[in-house]
Amino acid sequence: MNKRNILKLCIVSLIVCIFTCGCMMSSVIPPSIEVDAPAFPANTPVDIPIYTPDEPNFSVDPNKPMVALTFDDGPSAQVTGKILDLIERYGIRATFFVQGQNLTKYPQHIKRAVELGCEIGNHTKDHKKLTALNDEEIIVQRDYINSTVRDIAGITPTLLRPPYGNMNEHVRETTAMPFILWSIDTKDWESRNKDAVIYAALKDVQDGDIILMHDLYTSTAEACEEIIPELINRGYQLVTVSEMFAAKGMALDSGVSYGHAR
Ligand code: NI
């Protein structure tokens, strides 16, 4: 073999070697891997976790104190959203007793409240004194809210708060839902004063309380900015009415009224 043939053999061997290595490399490195691609490309929406009742961070410890914040007469344009912001920020829950006039105006608040794990209660269609109505009218007041909430948010209220706390035995039997009253009345509708609402909510609060407020007033939302973290600092779990009774092993029976869970 002369020098020329040896050179040819070397060149051919080199080409074969380069080709073989290329094939091996391409089979080792999957073509889909792009090392330089960012893990989360810009403009990709980031999912914010939505808390649901099933999530363990919302489990209620029956051995720790708890209270139920309740908001009546909403939803309203501005205030309900502010209160839901606080509920989301602190990872708590509350119960909203909604009434018909406002329910259909702001369904987005109902959907969001449910997504955040809050409870929606029935505060009747027209906010009338139920004792002044006949049986048929009472049923209309009840059913309108239950069916409208179900249409909006896919859940049906199981609790009723009578307007003005007005009721009698006949109304409770006709309505055939548990009646939820309260043990702490902040009178936020009367004072419209943030400090007065904070004082009323925290002054005598204890385990099992149901606190009455209204998601209609800016002063109530401002008060909640302090009430919620203060209750958490004192060791209270802020839960829905149904969660509180369930955690304490207390039944909620139709036709019976409840002012607290203890
Ligand atoms: Ni009311």
Neighbours of 44 (CB within 10 A): 9
In one letter, which amino acid is 73? D
Query: Which single residue is written with the structure tokens 């509708």?
Result: 189
Give the distance (Å) from ligand 1 centre to CA of residue 159: 14
**In 3-state terms, the chain is what percent helix, strand and coil (to 5)?**
45, 10, 40
Report the SS3 class of residue 214.
strand
Q: What is the pLDDT of residues 201-258, one digit of tens each?
A: 999 999 999 999 999 999 999 999 999 999 999 999 999 999 999 999 999 999 999 9
Q: Is the pTM of this model over 0.85?
A: no
pLDDT of the residue at 4: 59
Residues labelled as active-site residues: 72, 214
Q: Are 189 and 154 in contact (CB under 8 A)?
A: no
* Burial of 227 from C-beta contacts in 10 A (0-12 / 13-18 / 19+): buried
- What DSSP assignment string belongs to 43-96? TPPPPPPPP-TTSGGG---TTS-EEEEEEES---SSHHHHHHHHHHHHT---EE
pLDDT value at position 59? 81
Quote the ligand 1 centre to 72 CA distance (angstroms). 5
Residue 76, token pair as written in the block: 């309203």
The mean pLDDT of the chain is 85
Question: Quick one: pLDDT at residue 161?
Answer: 98
Identify the band that residue 75 occupies on the pLDDT scale cut at 50, 70 and 90: very high
**CA 1 to ligand 1 centroid distance, Å:** 107
Closest CA to 121 of 90, 99, 93: 99
pLDDT given at position 151: 96
What Rg, from alpha-carbon coordinates, does the chain have?
A: 30
pLDDT digits (tens, 9 = 90+) for 7-58: 565 455 544 444 444 434 444 444 343 334 333 333 333 333 344 444 544 6
Does the pLDDT value for residue 197 go beyond 50?
yes
Contact yes or no for 57/91 (Cβ under 8 A): yes
pLDDT digits (tens, 9 = 90+) for 117-135: 999 999 999 999 999 999 9
Q: How far is the CA of 214 from the centre of ligand 1 (A)?
A: 8
User: 128: CA distance to ligand 1 center in Å?
Assistant: 9
Confidence band (pLDDT; 50, 70, 90) for 191?
very high
